[in-house]
Structure 1
Amino acid sequence: MDFSLTEEQEAFRQMVRRWVDAEAPKDLMRRLEADEENYPFPLWDKLKEQGFFGIGIDEDYGGQGGDVMTQMIFARELARTAGGLIWTWGVTSFAGAKSVGLYGTPEQKNRWLVPMAQGDLRVAISVTEPDGGTDVLGAMKTHAVKVDGGWKVNGAKMWTTGAKVADRLLLLARTDKDVVKRHQGLTLFFADAKSPGITATLLPKLGMRAMGSCSVTFDDVFIPDEDVLGTPGEAWYMMLPTLNNERIMVGAQCLGAIDGVLEDALTYMKQRKAFGDIIGRFQILQHYIADIATMQKTTELLLNYVATMQATSQTCGVEANMLKMVATENAVKAADLGIQIMGGMGYSAETDMQRYWRDHRILRMTPISNEMVRNSIAESLGLPRSY
């Protein structure tokens, strides 16, 4: 299978790289990420001005079009400098645009995809429950009751990134408790994030600090019928096809981070001197670089393989999980080696190596923990369910 980029894809990649180097350099990303109290609006505005929010959105709704490969190329190039701040673009483009594009009515697509493509509508994902983590279904306590003209929602969510600045929340809630299986009776809402009864509170965290992950409470929040995505009660079946995209997105982000790690480590090894010569002559550090480069290539090959499967409508749930597991573990290992190569400067907040580690450590646990990924892979090979 040939994973070479087409001429058009390569031209797009080079254009994005030039833009990233000029408009989203590492020193700017480092400063933005450090400001935990403020969302990275400067990056959002730059992405908006360039029209990048239109990637993957149909041209009929003001987007640029492009398949999952185009999105992955962009995600990788941006993550090389932005690291976890890539979700400034990714949450809206993947969670919002993908869900509305797949399940929205024509009227909903006009209402929401057009401003999304223009960079005028921000989305946050409100799925994880406070007591649940990966066990979304088992912990689902957020519920919605049908009322005249809509639904009343009560409950709480955790790790809703960007909720304080979001225009819309992609909200999963239980609408039917009388079900045979717990994945039944769930409904997906595209709720107005400024509705009365919604309260978002920042959660201090290790990495991706400026992204502003939040706990969100819903106290008798009214959501009109026109803000329901798809068929009520069938949200879990609707969400499954989008999960592969999220895992592929994570893979692209991690690959971009490995690109940044390798770039910084090589530059430092060629400049830093110790014991009379550049540290690039030290065999053990050369081995570290060889390991990082190998992680880069294996992640790239798996990403291209899975993205190609997705783009050609092949079933790839197991492979997408494998990609997520491999990419996240490689990114964290690569960044850790990068810190070791740079020593004290790798640990310093004045450089980006520590940011690559912090931003990607969370991805070993989310959107699904790598332990659960391994369970799923084992089950796909015919072993009994372990949870």
Structure 2
Amino acid sequence: MEFTPEQEMLRESVRAFAAKEMPDGFAREWDIKGEPPLETYQRFADAGFMGVGIPEQYGGQGGGIVEVAIVLHELSRAMMSFAIMVYRSAIHASGGLQIYGTEEQRERFLPGIASGQYKFCFSLSEPDAGSDAFNLKCRAVRDGDQYVVNGTKMWNSFARHADYVLLATRTSDEPKKQDGITFFVVDLSSPGIEITPVETIGERASGTNMVAYTDVRVPAANILGTEGQGHRNLQANLERERFSSLPINLGPMEAILEEAIEYANTREQFGQAIGRFQAIQHMLADVAVDVNIARTLTWDLARRIAAGEQCALEVSMAKLWISEAMMRASYTGMQVMGGYGYTLDSNMQLHWRNARLGTIGAGSSEIQRNIIARQIGVGRNPS
């Protein structure tokens, strides 16, 4: 798609920020630390980028999904984990509040997201509820003008550093599992919350956690949307998450291709640069094709979503394809760079480890195939 002059200016500004604040080696440094660069996050917010998708009346810049995708794409080229930290607030929280929040909630939280004062995370998965997303056991019970929350959540990324969480709970037992689900905005400093880091092989800077809730009191005013109808929030959140994975994977795919080409053109073996061997040329040609397709899918869907089209099927298709293309690209990059790519001094090993999450998180590749098959009518009973 063609970008407007304002969108091109945004792209250039975010790329300049990333080049200055997240130079080569920055992502590897924070990955090894297993910590997020919170000071850089605040500088990012101070520059106005956290408010790109927030209306001006709440302290934002009034952009839409295309502008947010531009931000995520440019950030992920430099540091995928940083882009993921940003999207938790810029997509999950900001989007949820704008669509389902009350005016009081929007006024209370959106300016803080835009300024960097409030950092959000999103919590759905549990020990027995992963791909079976509606099988929630974390329960919220009404007690006057509050709810009391008990339960355990898994894979709660960035929770250790966030201020608030969008928490999916069960508030009633209904015949259909998707009914009786309610979302809350929960202050993570509330008494009764215990956060335990979970070590992972990738996305270590943003990190993930197990979070236990024991008699945690949440104001009824913090319900996001309608009580018992949280499955609607959830479906919209997951679609936004799947779309966000497109620019977040596109950025590293481009970086992989650029880094592998540079290495192939400078690394000499058998008296010539390895890029002169047809085997290497074909490997990188395949990555270039995947990158081009990923760009087309990402920006076409951004345009269609911005125009108000319903694209749930196409988003699942694109998420499936791009996450698996990212896996292919990172594998090829590692193979081209050989032993150097396998060292912690290389960006390629970080791309390779981070890529593995793409086919698991935001709905695994198998779940995306289930969604696609259902949408195209496979398995229906004959009428």
TM-score w.r.t. the length of structure 1 is: 0.96
What is the identity, as a one-letter code, of the residue corresponding to 2:129?
G
Cα shift readout 1:99-150 (whole Å, capped 9, x = no counterpart): 1111111111111001110011011111101122111112x11011110111
Contact 1:47 1:89 (C-alpha < 8 Å) held by counterparts: no
Matches within 5 A, 1:223-242: 223-242=218-237
SS at match of 2:36: coil
The offset of 1:244, in angstroms, is 2.2
Report the equivalent of 2:205: 210
Aligned to 2:56: 59
Letter in 1 for 2:41: W
Paired position in structure 1 for 2:272: 277
Answer yes or no: is 1:334 the counterpart of 2:329. yes
Q: Which moved more, 1:242-251 or 1:194-203?
A: 242-251
User: 1:385 offset after TM fit, Å?
Assistant: 6.8
Q: What residue is the counterpart of 1:87 in the other structure?
A: 84
- CA distance in 1: counterparts of 2:53 and 2:42, whole angstroms: 19
Does the aligned pair in 1 maintain the 2:313–2:371 contact within 8 Å?
Answer: yes
Mapped to 1, the partners of 2:198 and 2:61 lie a distance apart of 34
- 2:156 is matched with 160
- Picking from 25, 37, 48, the partner of 1:27 is 25
**Is residue 55–residue 62 contact of structure 2 (8 Å, CA) maintained in 1?**
yes
Instruction: Report the Cα distance in structure 2 between the residues aligned to 1:290 and 1:14, rounded to whole angstroms.
Output: 27
Call closer, same or farther: CA 1:135–1:385 in 2, change over 3 Å.
farther
Unpaired stretches in structure 2, ≥5 consecutive residues:
none
1:42 is aligned, of 36, 39, 47, to: 39
Report the secondary structure of 1:31's partner residue. Answer: helix
**Which SS does the other structure have where 1:210 is aligned?**
coil
**Kept in 2: contact 1:104–1:229 (CA 8 A):** yes
Secondary structure of 1:11's aligned partner: helix
Say which is worse superposed, 374-383 or 317-326, in terms of deviation: 374-383
Mean Cα displacement is larger for which, 318-327 or 237-246? 237-246
Alignment partner, residue 142 of structure 1: 138
Query: Residue 242 of structure 1: CA displacement?
Result: 3.0
Q: CA deviation at 1:191?
A: 0.4
Matches within 5 A, 1:1-387: 3-36=1-34, 38-138=35-135, 140-177=136-173, 179-384=174-379
1:286-324 deviations in Å (ceiling 9; x for gaps): 111101110101111111222122111111000000111
- Which range moved further: 232-241 or 294-303? 232-241
Once the two structures are superposed, residues 198-236 of structure 1 have per-residue CA deviations (whole angstroms, 9 ceiling, x without a partner) of 111000001011212000011011101111111111111
Out of 299-308 and 212-221, give the one that drifted further.
299-308
Give me the identity figure in percent.
Answer: 34
State the SS of the aligned residue for 1:300.
helix
Q: Any stretches of 5+ residues in structure 1 without a counterpart?
A: none
Q: CA deviation at 1:165?
A: 1.6
**What SS does the corresponding residue of 1:255 show, helix, strand or coil?**
helix
Alignment CA distance shift 1:371-1:363 (3 Å): same
Distance in 2, Cα, partners of 1:344 & 1:385: 50
Aligned partners of 2:336 and 2:291: how far apart in 1? 17
1:155-180 alpha-carbon deviations (Å, 9 max, x no partner): 01001011112111110000011x13
Give distance in 2, aligned partners of 1:364 and 1:231. Answer: 31
Counterpart-to-counterpart distance in 2, 1:142 and 1:164: 19
- The offset of 1:363, in angstroms, is 1.4
**Hey, what's the Cα distance between the residues in 1 that align with 2:322 and 2:175?**
36
Indicate the SS of the match to 1:26. Answer: coil
Instruction: Give the total of aligned pairs.
Output: 381
3-state DSSP of counterpart to 1:136? coil
1:104 is aligned with what amino acid? G
SS at match of 2:156: coil
Counterpart CA distance in 2 for 1:247 and 1:126 is 15
Is the contact made by 1:309 and 1:316 (CA closer than 8 Å) also made in structure 2?
yes
User: Aligned partner of 2:241: which letter?
Assistant: E
Structure 2 Cα separation of the partners of residues 47 and 15 of structure 1: 11
User: Do the aligned partners of 2:84 and 2:248 also contact (CA within 8 Å) in 1?
Assistant: no
Following the alignment from structure 2 to structure 1, what is the Cα–Cα distance between the partners of residues 11 and 189? Answer: 37
Contact 2:92 2:240 in 1 (8 A): no
Provide the rounded CA distance (Å) in 2 between the counterparts of 1:33 and 1:254: 17
Taking structure 2 as the reference length, the TM-score comes to: 0.97
Deviation of 1:49 (Å) = 2.6
CA contact (8 A) 1:84 1:360 kept: no
RMSD: 1.4
Equivalent residues of 2:68, 2:90 under 8 A apart: no
Displacement of 1:282 in angstroms is 1.1
Aligned-partner Cα distance in 2 for 1:237–1:45:
32
